[in-house]
Each structure stands twice: as structure tokens, then as C-alpha cells.
Amino acid sequence: MKQQSIGVIDSGVGGLTVARELMRQLPKESFIYLGDTRRCPYGPRSEEEVRAFTWQMVNYLLAKNIKMLVVACNTATAYTLAELQDELEIPVVGVIDPGARAAIKFSNNKRIGVIGTEGTIKSKAYPKALMSIDQSIRVNDLACPSFVPMVEEGILSGPEAEGIVARTLQPLKAMNHIDTLILGCTHYPLIKDLVQNEMGDHIQVISSGEETAREASFMLAYHKMLEKSKEPPVYEFYTTGDVEKFRIIANSWFDDPVEIVRLVELEHVQSTAY
Amino acid sequence: MKQQSIGVIDSGVGGLTVARELMRQLPKESFIYLGDTRRCPYGPRSEEEVRAFTWQMVNYLLAKNIKMLVVACNTATAYTLAELQDELEIPVVGVIDPGARAAIKFSNNKRIGVIGTEGTIKSKAYPKALMSIDQSIRVNDLACPSFVPMVEEGILSGPEAEGIVARTLQPLKAMNHIDTLILGCTHYPLIKDLVQNEMGDHIQVISSGEETAREASFMLAYHKMLEKSKEPPVYEFYTTGDVEKFRIIANSWFDDPVEIVRLVELEHVQSTAY
């Protein structure tokens, strides 16, 4: 039987950090990554639009016979995860709850920080996820609009990056209450060290991507779907936007070269559940 | 509707550390803990006997209408987890794989240490769990037979405890390769700080109990079974052995007092799946 891949969808390139973690924690598995870079970002779009776009990505990957779906986009997770879990016959893992559960595990004082894009912070998706488990948790959240452009421009270290990070995190640092900080945006793992340095060693910094990969690993084992073949895994990358731009970013974020990136048009793919 | 509890079974008192973590990470949930202290330890027993004893515990708790089962015993997990997951209609989480997955997430150099009882180390349950996910992982495991008696006698700090821990871990330390260490026994979280101090800050020490609670939290959310009631949770404790001894240990390990411990006889409970 042909190996089945795990599908990873995102509004753009951010989910590549989740894919990278999935590949690291599940080295036998094959992956298909699909980033809707042409219509990125999803944050400012309506729920209806995000649902339609997400279903187009999902249906495109279902046709490729994926065995599990990872929604590596905070906005798509917030709007569609419950629906996808209900409708699909394969396991579906989203990107918000794993970070929330890891934070609850790590935090001793129950004061948890969350940083993310304006859309994610405004949605209150992380506070909701945290408080659905433990109502006594106090959340300090902060939108960091300058981080995504900085990361996409490749500014990942040095005085400029340090300055931006220090300035942006200042309000969170000033409160000095939290003992755990969730990186609630898939771009942020690339500046995790900067954030850790700025916040200090006493703060546990949690990458949603790492935690999502961990739970995907659990899901796969639980459903007895771990790859048993000794064949090397296959990684496929698809984008709806500029192939070359995607390839350059992917190559700067991954240790192994990403050679083939394919263009895909989603406009004609069905935008609802089958 | 009456709140349904999560069942936690163990061969004795060790699983109380897992229960404690479950209560911390899932503060709205009610729990029933059952420790087979009279027939403890399971390690030296035959697979057939461990399976029969485990099924007795499981059937006893199923009659109490539990919504999820956590097998907080390494030996019972190794012998019965797959069978329980197949036979039961409720989700079942074991205590070995969560620690393995957490170690894979944390380790950068793919050299992972495991400490446990002689039975657990001899069973190779952790190396098998680790290598089923990533064959390139190298495992250094070490039986620490002096740790369980030490913990049960309440020697959790001070020069004597430090001496025992230092002497026992010496072979692992001498190799100086691992970057991650799994506490592969439910008693060990009580001496986590001692182990961490002895191994050094560069080693990530992983408590199987914390990781099991984290995955149980995921399982519960995935099956949409998180408790929604605002009623305070109910904790029930059962033992097959000395009630007073159980109560003393439970009280020394828990922050909140454990007042009522009930005696249960399992000999007449069915020892196979229904």
C-alpha cells in the first residue's frame, strides 16, 4: 500500500514552523503542506470567507488521501476546527488547544501570557481555550503586529530584531506576573530565543507548533496510524501564491532544502463539506 | 445528569502522582483512584496475572460509570493498554507513551535517558515506545531499585536522599550524552528536584505523570467530554490494602487533605473483558 501523508494547511508560510516540528517529532511520516499565500492573511477576513477557503484546502488534500489533518493556522482553527472534527473521518488537530494545554501543564501561578497577531488576540481564542479547562487562570494577552513582517523579512536576530522584540513585549514585561508565555502565532517560533531572552529565564515560553506536533503524534498513535514503512518520507509543498517567494522562505526556515514547490488553484475546489 | 468521573488505576500508591497532576491540569474534573496496594508491586508478576488484576480494577471502575480511564501503572500499561483501548468504549490513556512523546519533543541530540524500576527497565517499554516513533534515537536506561522504597519511606530531601540519588544516577551521569531524562516510574516525580539537581540544568527531566495528564486533557477535549458543571469536583480513593497506610501516604503527597479512603475487594470482580 502506498504511504499516506499527513496534510498540513495554513493561510500562508507561518504553518511551515508547525510542519518543521511535525517532521522532527514524526520522522517516519510523509507530509503535504498547503499554504494559501495568495489569500493570506486570514485574520482580517470574515468567518464565512475563512470557512470557505479552509474547506477548499481541506477538500484539495482529502483528494490526495491524507490520513490526518493539521490545521496550522490560528484563524482557521478558531473558526473551523470543531466543524472539521465533526465532518471528517480522519483525525483533525488544530493549533490553539495544544499550546493552551501545555501552558496549563507548565504554569505554577496560573498567570499565563499570550502573544499573537491582532486577529488572534482579538478573537480571545487562547483565553477561551485556557479558561474552558481552568476558570481560575488569569491571561495577559498582547498583540504584536510588528513580529510577522519582521520574521517574513528574515530579521531573526541582531540589534534591530532585539529592539523590536523588547519594545513590543514591554507592556507584558512591565506587569511581571506571568510564569508562562504562549507564542500564539506560527511565525513566532523563529524568534523564540529573542522572546525568551527578553522575558527572562523564569518564564516558560511555549511554542504552539511544538505542542501541536506533540498532540498530532499522540493522535496518530492513538488511531494506530503511525507509519511502519522503512521508505524515506516524502514532503510535498503547495502554495496558491508566488512559488519562488514560498521556496525562498521555506529554504531559509528549514534545515533541509525545499526544492519543489507546486502552484495550486483553489478557486474551483468545493468550499463546503462533501 | 450526575457528573461522570475519570478513573485512575495503579498497582499501588505511585499513581497518586499522576492523579495529582490530573487534578491540577483538569481542575473541573472528578476522579476515582483505585490502587491495588495489597497485590503491589505488579513488576515481578506474570503478564497473565497483571492482565487479570488490571481487568478486575477496570471492571470495578466501569461499574462506577467512569468516562475515561487512565492506567497510571507502567507494568499494567505495558501489558494491557492496547487491549483496553480495543475493548473499552471509553478513551484509555496509558503512562508510557506520553513521556516518550514529550522526550522526543524536548530532545535535540536524540539521546534520551530513562530511569525506572527493574521491571520497567527490563521490559524495554520506553525504548520501544521511543523507537517506534524515531529509530535514530539512542536510549540510555537505568534501573533505580532504591528509589521506590526511599520515596515510600518519605525520604524526599536532605543528605541521605541526595546521597542515594547521586550514587544511583552515577552510571547515567558518567556517560554524559543524554539531553533529556524520562522519570519512568510514578514515584519519581516526588524526587524530581533531587534528580534535576544531580543531573544538572542542561538535562530536561520529564515526568511521565505530568505528560500523561496533559494527554488525558487532550483526549477529554477531543471527545468533547470536558466537565461543564460548576459543581466542585469529587475525589474518591479506593485501596485493596491497608487503608490507613494509604491515607497517610496520600496525605503526605497531596496538598489538600485526603480524608476518606475506602477498602475494596477485587477477588470476586470479573478478571476479563465483558
Segment B117-159, tens digit of pLDDT: 988 999 899 999 999 999 999 999 999 999 999 998 889 999 9
Q: What is the set of active-site residues of B?
A: 73, 185
* CB within 8 Å: B214 and A135: no
Catalytic residue among A150, A185, A191, A205: A185
**Which positions in chain B touch A222 (Cβ < 8 Å)?**
85, 219
A134-164: burial string, b at 16+ Cβ within 10 Å, e else: beebebbbbbbeebbebbeeebeeeeebeeb
Average pLDDT, chain B: 94
B138-143 sheet: strands from edge to edge: B138-143, B111-116, B180-183, B204-207
Per the document, the length of chain A is 274
Question: CA B82 to CA B146: how far, in whole Å?
Answer: 30
Are A144 and A112 within one domain? yes
Number of Cβ within a 10 Å radius of residue A259: 10
Are B202 and B136 within one domain? yes
* CB within 8 Å: A222 and B219: yes
Question: CA B250 to CA B187: how far, in whole Å?
Answer: 12
* CB within 8 Å: B218 and A218: yes
User: What's the number of domains chain B is made of?
Assistant: 2
**Smallest Cα–Cα separation from B255: which of B272, B235, B239?**
B235
User: Which of the residues in chain A have pLDDT under 70?
Assistant: 1-2
A214 touches chain B (CB under 8 A): yes
**Which positions in chain A touch B101 (Cβ < 8 Å)?**
25, 214, 217-218, 221
A92-93 sheet: strands from edge to edge: A92-93, A68-71, A5-10, A30-35, A235-239, A261-263
So what's the pLDDT on residue A1? 55
Are A222 and A177 within one domain? no
Question: CA A210 to CA A248: how far, in whole Å?
Answer: 23
B68, B104, B192, B226, best to mutate vs chain A, most A CBs in 10 Å: B104
A127 touches A156 (CB < 8 A):
no
B28 touches B227 (CB < 8 A):
yes
Task: Show the CA angle centred on residue B251, arms to residues B248 and B255, nearest 5°.
Answer: 170
**Smallest Cα–Cα separation from A237: which of A61, A49, A85?**
A61
So what's the pLDDT on residue A155? 92
Final residue before a domain boundary, out of A177, A193, A208: A208
* CB within 8 Å: B214 and A101: yes
> The complex's ipTM?
0.86
Phi, psi of B6 (to 5 degrees): -95, 130
So what's the pLDDT on residue A91? 97
* CB within 8 Å: B133 and A226: yes
B77 touches B94 (CB < 8 A):
yes
Residue B268 lies in a domain: no
Model confidence band, residue B1 (pLDDT cutoffs 50, 70, 90): low
Residue A271 lies in a domain: no
Mark the binding-site residues of B for substrate, compressed into ranges.
Answer: 10-11, 42-43, 74-75, 186-187
Are A103 and A192 within one domain? yes
* CB within 8 Å: A101 and B218: yes
**Which positions in chain A touch B97 (Cβ < 8 Å)?**
218, 221
From A81, which residue of chain B is nearest by alpha-carbon distance?
B222
CA atoms within a 13 Å half-sphere pointing along the CA-CB vector of A241: 17
B28 touches chain A (CB under 8 A): yes
So what's the pLDDT on residue A255? 85
Question: CA A148 to CA B84: how far, in whole Å?
Answer: 46
Residue A268 lies in a domain: no
From B220, which residue of chain A is nearest by alpha-carbon distance?
A133
So what's the pLDDT on residue B21? 95
Are B129 and B187 within one domain? yes
Question: CA A248 to CA A227: how far, in whole Å?
Answer: 30
pLDDT of B176 higher than 80? no
Per the document, the length of chain B is 274
pLDDT of B23 higher than 80? yes
DSSP label of A114: E
DSSP label of A153: T
**Which positions in chain B touch A218 (Cβ < 8 Å)?**
97-98, 101, 215, 218
So what's the pLDDT on residue B39? 93
Are B147 and B233 within one domain? no
B141 touches B113 (CB < 8 A):
yes
**Smallest Cα–Cα separation from B187: which of B215, B161, B216?**
B161
So what's the pLDDT on residue A2? 67
Question: From residue A43, how far is each of A37, A74, A115, A194, A207 by CA, in Å?
Answer: 13, 9, 15, 24, 19
CA atoms within a 13 Å half-sphere pointing along the CA-CB vector of B29: 28
Are A71 and A106 within one domain? no
B68-71 sheet: strands from edge to edge: B92-93, B68-71, B5-10, B30-35, B235-239, B261-263
DSSP label of B188: G
A190-195: which pairs have CB atoms within 8 A and are 24 or more residues apart? A190/A17, A190/A151, A190/A156, A190/A253, A191/A147, A191/A150, A191/A151, A191/A156, A191/A161, A191/A165, A193/A157, A194/A156, A194/A157, A194/A161, A194/A162, A194/A165, A195/A115, A195/A165, A195/A169
Look at A262-266, B16-20, B28-32, B175-179 and tell me which has the smallest mean pLDDT: B175-179
Are B198 and B109 within one domain? yes
Q: Which domain range does residue A135 map to?
A: 97-208
Final residue before a domain boundary, out of A208, A226, A242: A208
So what's the pLDDT on residue A227? 93
Amino acid letter, B45: R
Residue A57 lies in a domain: yes
Are A172 and A101 within one domain? yes
Question: CA B243 to CA B197: how far, in whole Å?
Answer: 34
Question: CA A268 to CA A259: how far, in whole Å?
Answer: 27
Are A128 and A67 within one domain? no
B90 touches B61 (CB < 8 A):
no
* CB within 8 Å: A133 and B214: no
**Which positions in chain A touch B219 (Cβ < 8 Å)?**
222
**Smallest Cα–Cα separation from B108: which of B189, B26, B179, B24?**
B179
Residue B271 lies in a domain: no
How much of chain B, in percent, has pLDDT values that exceed 90?
85
B248 touches chain A (CB under 8 A): no
Residue A190 lies in a domain: yes
A218 touches B218 (CB < 8 A):
yes
Amino acid letter, A23: M
Question: CA B245 to CA B230: how far, in whole Å?
Answer: 33
Residue B80 lies in a domain: yes
| Residues 6 or more apart in contact with residue B253 via CB below 8 angstroms | B13, B16, B17, B20, B190
Are B90 and B101 within one domain? no
Final residue before a domain boundary, out of B166, B193, B208: B208
Question: CA B191 to CA B183: how far, in whole Å?
Answer: 10
A27 touches A61 (CB < 8 A):
no
| CATH code of residue B66 | 3.40.50.1860
Residue B272 lies in a domain: no
pLDDT 10s digits, B54-105:
999 999 999 999 999 999 999 999 999 999 999 999 999 999 999 999 999 9
Residue A245 vs residue B2, higher pLDDT:
A245
Are A187 and A102 within one domain? yes
